[in-house]
A and B are shown apart, each in its own frame.
Chain A
Amino acid sequence: MAEDREPPPLADAVQTDFREVEEGEDLFVSTVSTLSPTSPEPASFPAEDISTNSNGPKQEILLDDDQEDLFAEATEEVSLDSPEREPILSDGPSPAITPVTPTVIITPRVDALFDRSLDEVKQISINVLYLFSIIQAFYFCLQGDGMNAYMAYKVTTKTSLSLFSRNEFSVKRRFSDFLGLHSKLASKYMHIGYIVPPAPEKSIVGMTKVKVGKEDLSSAEFVEKRRSALERYLMRTVNHPALVKDPDVIQFLENTELPRAVSTQALSGAGILRMVNKAADAVNKMTIKMNESDAWFEEKQQQFENLDIQLRKLHASVESLVCHRKELSVNTASFAKSAAMLGNSEDHTALSRALSQLAEVEEKIDQLHHEQAYADFYLFSELLGDYVRLITAVKGVFDQRMKTWSKWQDAQVMLQRKREAEAKLQYANKPDKLQQAKDEIKEWEAKVQQGERDFEQISKNIRREVERFEKQRVKDFKVVIIKYLESLVHTQQQLIKYWEAFLPEAKAIA
């Protein structure tokens, strides 16, 4: 509860200036975070049994609904403790904030992670710790100039799943590694209807500023935003019952060395190929006219279409709120300074003191607004941003189903043609060609059957995935709404405190 939280113990936190970080100190250590709050579905099937067939889930994955609900209450939601974090949101010189590195407080609520009371609960929680500072990024500079430097993220995993060789381990990963992971998972699972969580977006501008060595608050803000986004991305990925067992995921989390994912670069050969494919897909989407026999799919697609539009709108409004709240914070700080000067200038003693007190109150309030803007962003805005991207993935999966259907239809058409060809050849006297035709018919019959099976499989998968997705969405939003409201409560309570302290000062003016 927000009310129970104590103000962050700033004195104890890691609070070093950028320059001192060379010792390899952890600058930012996030609180234990599980943004998607509950235990995953894997609990319903024997986690010990690691499938050796690692090329994608050919086996059934059972989703046991009952067990899922058990977990809903079991694990305490531990999320980014946003209100406690030192705000690093203001860009540009904010008068009330002295240039100090952002500090983050750890309160590892380990007990919340491992709810041992439920034996069947096997749970992964991942801490993504941001280890290397901007300066230390140059440690990884490949050759010469700063543009080759990259930010390394330390990914720490704590788990009791026997999928992994240890209970706790850390690795270093680059942003492109995350993109590479997503790319692999997408290519493996999307075409059979799994909703693969999308990776955070690239940002050339943001990263360039960091590389250029700008040690200002906006760079720090960018890095923290990215770190947090990567963390949420990983959490969503491992919360997926099939994906968590995927060897690429396991490798990503465990292996010290990872082959560099070059194909994720925008202008690489693979990148260009991706763009071409995307364009082709878009064209196909327009041309495929599917006979939808299943009302459920039609309904769901429409639903997601609507939700997409609304969420984007909401996201834009919340971004505007964040922006205005930041402005409010800056303007309040500016007023505080002005009021202080006014107080100094005032020659009536008691009034002078009251004005100085007012200045102090306003300065504290500007900090409050700043922290609230932080909460606005990390709780509310980022969640919406994530879901906008997730829904794009969902729509992608529906598109895959259309493609599968289309392939099946094409196979049927082809089969028909082959049959017609064979019929024609019956009357011509070409025995070897006839045999070939008969073989081709067999081939295409098999393809048609496979096409139908694929279509049915993807339809089934999608139904299940959407159900899981919706459950997760409800949970995520419920949790975030409450957390956000609690942050607002906290702000208001602080406001009362400050003004109640000021009131006697105002009354003391004689």
Chain B
Amino acid sequence: MTSLSQDCDKEKLRSVSVDLNNDSSLLIDIPDALCERDKVKFTVHTKTTLNSFQKPDFSVSRQHEDFIWLHDTLVETEEYAGLIIPPAPPKPDFESPREKMHKLGEGEATMTKEEYTKMKQELEAEYLAVFKKTVQVHEIFLQRLSSHPNLSKDRNFQIFLEYDQDLSVRRKNAKEMFGGFFKNMVKSADEVLISGIKDVDEFFEQEKTFLLDYFSKIKDSTAKAEKMTRSHKNVADDYIHISATLNSIAADDNTALKQHLEKFAELLEKLRKVEGRVASDQELKLTELLRYYMRDIQAAKDLLYRRARALADYENSNKALDKARLKSKDVAQAEENQKQCLLKFDKLSESGKKELTSFKGRRVVAFRKNLIEMAELEIKHAKNSISLLQGCIELLKVN
């Protein structure tokens, strides 16, 4: 069981999506989380001045599935069809460090005690990092909801925050899951729907083209960035092994080389920590940034789909009205239907436009912030490395 108390690392990931938690009438955070076997239990803490809540300060325990339930419920709510629903947080994935831990256990016999301990520490740090990351993406999801003028008032959102018992009864049962399957099929039909037809509205046409293309590109970039970061970590790990073996050689050595080897080993140990930081900073500022906005863009695409469907509905209602007029049957009903569809479509278009515009602004700001921070961190780490290296070189040359 691992417990986690949040610290300033929160800031790092929060910068991925800015302008959150500014409104003090509803403040949400996840101060704690427990990892039990495969399940992570998040402590969701709410502080509010709103009357709609029973208490001003309270906490509940939630699992990942509860977040998914909340997200899906919001998506299915008609009223929010014109909004970009914040993407659901990804499932906690401890696969990578777990696999590495397994491999480490298998290779224990071939390593010195020192080496093994270091590798284990490194893995524990990685595990902790994954843990922190998952807590933060869940937190950000809630904070985006709480800072949205419409979504923050959602009844299910309130239940999620307040209901002090297990939410499992409300989660997807088999029937709903089946419904979910249909939903995915409809979605792929949607993709065809909106990519094929040229939109009359200039704004939406542009957005559609842009989002479709951008999504595939950012998905690719995310995957490549992840690979790059992983290679970086591998290099840092190699330094551990090299450093440990150098120490072994130095221990047995009684020539003038002894000190050189020791200093070299020491340096590599320090360097690998820096390299590790470089890798994890790159992951946070670059890979996570890309990943987050990839999911956000998917949410924006979903909005376009819903609008396209509303348009299709409107067009269908027109056809139905014409048919009704021809048959002179149920004309009033068809007229009403058509009016509703048009209303819905217009509402979607209007709110959609607003959402997409603010989305772009949000994205640009987040990219700017993260790219600047990443560059600054890279420079800082490189300078650190240089001072370590040069210090060592000086020492060695003197001998």
Contacts and interface: CB of A to CB of B under 8 A. Distances in A.
Interface of A: 303, 306-307, 310-311, 313-314, 317-318, 320-321, 324-325, 327-328, 331-332, 334-335, 337-339, 341-342, 344-348, 350-351, 354-355, 358, 470, 473-474, 477-478, 481-482, 485-486, 488-489, 492-493, 495-496, 499-500, 502-503, 506-507, 509
B62 interface: no
A503 B375 CA distance: 6
Interface in B320-375: 360, 363-364, 367-368, 371-372, 375
A486 B256 contact: no
A345 B231 contact: no
A324 B386 contact: no
Interface size class of B (residues with CB under 8 A): 35 or more
B378 A485 contact: no
B103 interface: no
B163 interface: no
Contacts of B171: none
Pairs of residues from A and B, 5 with the lowest C-beta to C-beta distance, nearest first: A328-B231, A509-B368, A321-B238, A335-B224, A506-B371
B161 interface: no
B213 interface: yes
Interface string B236-256: 001101100110110010011
B386 to A, nearest CB: 5
Nearest to A332: B228
A346 B375 contact: no
Contacts of B218: 342
A354 B374 CA distance: 13
Contacts, number: 160
B242 A478 contact: no
A344 B399 CA distance: 54
Contact of B242 (A321, A339, A354, A470): A321
Contact of A341 (B220, B230, B245, B367): B220
A332 to B, nearest CB: 5
A324 B372 contact: no
B235 interface: yes
Interface of B: 206, 210, 213-214, 217-218, 220-221, 224-225, 227-228, 230-232, 234-235, 238-239, 241-242, 245-246, 248-249, 252, 255-257, 260-261, 264, 267, 271, 360, 363-364, 367-368, 371-372, 375-376, 378-379, 382-383, 385-386, 389-390, 392-393, 396-397, 399
Contact of B379 (A339, A473, A503): A503
B40 to A, nearest CB: 29
Contacts of B375: 499-500, 502-503, 506
A318 B252 contact: no
Contact of B389 (A331, A350, A485): A485
A481 B253 CA distance: 16
Given A342-B217, A477-B261, 14 more contacts: A314-B242, A314-B245, A317-B242, A327-B234, A334-B228, A335-B227, A335-B228, A354-B368, A485-B389, A485-B392, A489-B393, A502-B375, A506-B372, A506-B375
A314 B220 CA distance: 37
Nearest to A361: B375
Contacts of B256: 474, 478
A506 B214 contact: no
A502 to B, nearest CB: 5
A318 B238 CA distance: 8
A481 B264 contact: yes
Contacts of B376: 503
Contacts of A482: 393, 396-397
Most B CB within 10 A of own CB, among A313, A335, A481, A500: A335
A489 B255 contact: no
Contacts of B249: 307, 310-311, 314
A500 B221 contact: no
Nearest to B218: A342
Contacts of B227: 331, 334-335
A252 to B, nearest CB: 32
Nearest to B235: A324
Contacts of B225: 335, 338
Most B CB within 10 A of own CB, among A354, A473, A499: A499
Contact of A310 (B206, B241, B248, B385): B248
Contacts of B221: 335, 338-339, 341-342
A25 to B, nearest CB: 37
Contact of B220 (A313, A324, A338, A509): A338
15 contacts: A310-B249, A310-B252, A314-B245, A334-B224, A355-B367, A358-B371, A474-B256, A477-B257, A478-B257, A485-B264, A492-B385, A495-B379, A502-B375, A503-B376, A506-B375
